[in-house]
């Protein structure tokens, strides 16, 4: 593609040069750093306009320009323009502090025009400024949204990127040329983490352990609790991704998540989170009030974990384990089935061991680098402690399981309860294998998901089911 040398190429920032929106990211980051000052910044939008709000937010916190999701095809077009001696201008509605940091980072812009002194440089205001500097038809412009239409109308060559620009390009007379840069489908679905819903099967443990799965009213309560937890858990995942977008960008795997990559906008993600929360509340309304309280406690624990406790040593691990065990408690409250203390004790040690394994996998991925894992309190030096603690709690779980299956309350459910004692060594084999693979760095950082894909784990479950089935018969 040949680009004229004399006309400057003007590039928008939000949605054009980058996939993301820096205003939304600034707002979320400011809410984490200084919520009260951020509230005043939002009030500025009411009293003095968006320009004043952007000024206030920029004084609190701005996104890290090194982590922004840049569009490779736009950077390539800029490079070609520079190679033929063309001038490149960054013209954006983002605050000047953000725009200048991006320009310094990339080192390819000759000039930066941005929001400052309360003047919001978007739409007609941007078009008027560019016309005053370069004349009508005196520049080429690349944008992505309806706000760029006045600027496109004033430009000679008109470029668009993204889905919105593709839709706008169908308007007659605009002459907009679009680059193939639409977000791939399924972003919203991926952010729900449907593969994580398998964890919510834990709500069925009470009816399974009590052999009451064929009682319709209890089964309905369990199913409702399962879907309520799925909606609430997905709501939490969206909230986590909103608050952790910069931490996710520092992680090679998590950087591909919809919000971190900029493929799903923060306003849409927030709307999705509200819909999921409303769905969880609607389903919970069909459950006993005790189960509703349990769901509320789970939501509160997740919120506290996201906002604060995930960065607190040991507290994060115990809270992770609690959120697993709490699913079992919620299943009990949804059905009215009383849980055995031994079963709860086993669950606590099991999920503590898996929570330690999750943190262990995160710190060993740092490969000896100094400092903590992003958004965590653990360092690579803690790997030995995490391994010892995880193995110890796993062994403790096997002991508690042995005491549980040999107790009278459990034995009376089976004709040959002696066979059930084999569950304890079977579990011990499984948890020790998890830790061996963790120490070999062969495990996904989430051990529950690893087990869900692991053939040996399925074989262990099948063996456990066979033992329980055989124990139901007299030999």
In a domain, 190, yes or no: no
In a domain, 3, yes or no: no
Please, are residues 51 and 118 in contact by the beta-carbon 8 Å criterion? yes
Q: Cα–Cα distance between 199 and 325 in angstroms, integer? A: 11
Are 411 and 273 contained in the same domain? yes
Any idea what the CATH number is for the domain that residue 119 is in? Answer: 3.40.50.1000
Domain limit, last residue, from 146, 179, 212: 179
In a domain, 249, yes or no: yes
Are 320 and 219 contained in the same domain? yes
pLDDT at 55: 87
In a domain, 2, yes or no: no
Are 39 and 130 contained in the same domain? yes
Q: Cα–Cα distance between 18 and 183 in angstroms, integer? A: 12
Number of domains present in the structure of the chain: 2
pLDDT at 2: 46
Are 150 and 211 contained in the same domain? no
Neighbours of 199 (CB within 10 A): 19
Q: Cα–Cα distance between 389 and 252 in angstroms, integer? A: 27
Are 337 and 458 contained in the same domain? yes
Q: Cα–Cα distance between 475 and 365 in angstroms, integer? A: 50
Q: What is the mean pLDDT of each run of 10 residues along the chain (475 residues)?
A: 67 94 92 83 75 87 93 92 91 95 94 91 94 93 93 93 86 83 59 87 90 90 95 92 88 85 89 94 94 92 84 90 93 91 92 93 73 70 92 95 83 80 93 92 79 88 90 70
Are 111 and 212 contained in the same domain? no
pLDDT at 243: 87
Classify burial at 428, counting beta carbons within 10 Å of its beta carbon; exposed 0-12, middle 13-18, buried 19 or more.
Answer: middle
- Count H helices, E strands: the chain? 21, 6
DSSP string, 236-282: HHHHHHHHTHHHHHTSTTGGGSTTTTTSS-HHHHHHHHHHHHHHHHH
- Tokens standing for residue 240: 């986590």
Neighbours of 38 (CB within 10 A): 22
Neighbours of 214 (CB within 10 A): 8
In a domain, 347, yes or no: yes
Domain ranges, residue 17: 9-179
In a domain, 85, yes or no: yes
In a domain, 4, yes or no: no
Are 227 and 175 contained in the same domain? no
Q: Cα–Cα distance between 218 and 338 in angstroms, integer? A: 13
Q: What is the pTM of this model?
A: 0.82
Are 308 and 389 contained in the same domain? yes
Are 167 and 204 contained in the same domain? no
3-class DSSP state of 181: coil
Are 166 and 214 contained in the same domain? no
């Amino acid at each position: 593609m040949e680009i004229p040398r004399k006309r400057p190429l003007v590039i928008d920032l939000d949605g054009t040069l980058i996939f993301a929106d820096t205003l939304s990211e600034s707002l979320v980051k400011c809410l984490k750093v200084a919520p009260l000052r951020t509230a005043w910044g939002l009030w500025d939008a009411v009293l003095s306009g968006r320009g004043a709000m952007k000024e206030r937010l920029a004084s609190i916190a701005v996104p890290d320009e090194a982590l922004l999701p840049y569009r490779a095809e736009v950077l390539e077009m800029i490079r070609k323009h520079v190679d033929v001696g063309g001038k490149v201008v960054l013209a954006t509605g983002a605050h000047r502090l953000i725009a200048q940091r991006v320009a310094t980072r990339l080192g390819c812009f000759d000039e930066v025009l941005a929001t400052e002194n309360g003047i919001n440089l978007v739409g007609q205001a941007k078009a008027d400024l560019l016309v005053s500097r370069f004349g009508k038809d005196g520049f080429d412009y690349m944008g992505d949204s309806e706000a760029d239409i006045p600027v496109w109308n004033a430009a000679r060559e008109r470029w668009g990127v993204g889905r919105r620009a593709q839709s706008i390009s169908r308007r007659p007379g605009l002459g907009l040329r679009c680059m193939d840069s639409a977000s791939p489908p399924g972003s919203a679905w991926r952010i729900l983490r449907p593969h994580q819903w398998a964890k919510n099967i834990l709500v069925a443990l009470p009816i399974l352990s009590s052999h009451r799965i064929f009682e319709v009213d209890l089964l309905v309560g369990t199913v409702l609790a399962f879907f309520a937890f799925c909606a609430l858990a997905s709501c939490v995942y969206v909230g986590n991704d909103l608050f952790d977008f910069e931490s996710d960008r520092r992680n090679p795997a998590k950087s591909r998540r919809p919000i971190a990559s900029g493929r799903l906008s923060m306003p849409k993600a927030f709307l999705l989170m509200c819909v999921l929360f409303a769905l969880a509340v609607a389903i919970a309304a069909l459950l006993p009030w005790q189960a509703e309280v349990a769901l509320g406690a789970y939501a509160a624990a997740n919120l506290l974990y996201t906002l604060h406790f995930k960065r607190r040593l040991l507290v994060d691990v115990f809270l992770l384990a609690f959120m697993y065990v709490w699913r079992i408690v919620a299943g009990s409250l949804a059905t009215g089935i009383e849980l055995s203390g031994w079963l709860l004790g086993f669950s606590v040690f099991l999920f503590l061991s898996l929570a330690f394994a999750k943190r262990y996998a995160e710190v060993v991925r740092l490969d000896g680098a100094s400092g903590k894992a992003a958004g965590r309190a653990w360092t690579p030096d803690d790997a030995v402690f995490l391994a010892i603690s995880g193995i110890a709690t796993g062994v403790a779980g096997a002991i508690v399981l042995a005491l549980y299956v040999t107790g009278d309350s459990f034995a009376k459910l089976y004709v040959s309860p002696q066979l059930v004692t084999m569950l304890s060594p079977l579990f011990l084999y499984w948890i020790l294998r998890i830790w061996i693979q963790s120490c070999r760095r062969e495990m996904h950082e989430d051990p529950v998901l690893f087990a869900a894909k692991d053939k040996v784990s399925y074989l262990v479950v099948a063996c456990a089911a066979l033992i329980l089935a055989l124990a139901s018969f007299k030999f």
